[in-house]
Amino acid sequence: MSPEGLFLNADSGFDAKVLRGDCFRHGIEANIARNPHSRTSETAEDTYTNPELYRERTAIERTNAWLDSFKTLLGRYETTVGNWLAFHFLAFTVLLFRKIPPEYKP
């Protein structure tokens, strides 16, 4: 599978010339926030970060943090794809039920 055309949306912890260069060489579109504390980071003029797409990264990170609250999923002990998927579907179901307001719960 070719990485050409893939998209990387990363926070400022991944801001490095080497990573940006590798992404460019492999045809990966990098949307990496600039790290203001890094001396080796490229200047703001050299890089472009799409703020709207970067906000979408926050939703993904929040979902991953919610999933990390389920200890069964953290251990990654499941040896079959079916069991792994089943535990993730259970976790997503629990997360969905937590979002339903109390007045709608039976």
pLDDT in tens, the chain (106 residues): 777 878 788 877 777 888 888 888 888 888 887 777 766 555 555 566 777 777 777 777 887 788 778 777 766 677 788 888 888 898 889 888 888 888 876 6
Is residue 29 within 8 A of residue 7, CB to CB? The reply is yes
Residue 2: the pLDDT is 79
φ/ψ bin of 2: left (φ > 0), alpha (ψ from -120 to 50), beta (otherwise): beta
Whole-number Å distance between alpha carbons of 60 and 78: 23
In sequence order, what are the beta bridge partners of 8?
Answer: 30
Residue 46: the pLDDT is 57
User: SS3 breakdown of the chain: % helix, strand, coil, rounded to 5?
Assistant: 55, 10, 40
Whole-number Å distance between alpha carbons of 54 and 62: 13
For the full predicted model, state whether its pTM sits above 0.75: no
| 16: number of Cβ within 10 Å | 15
Residue type, 55: R
Residue 42: the pLDDT is 54
Residue 45: the pLDDT is 53
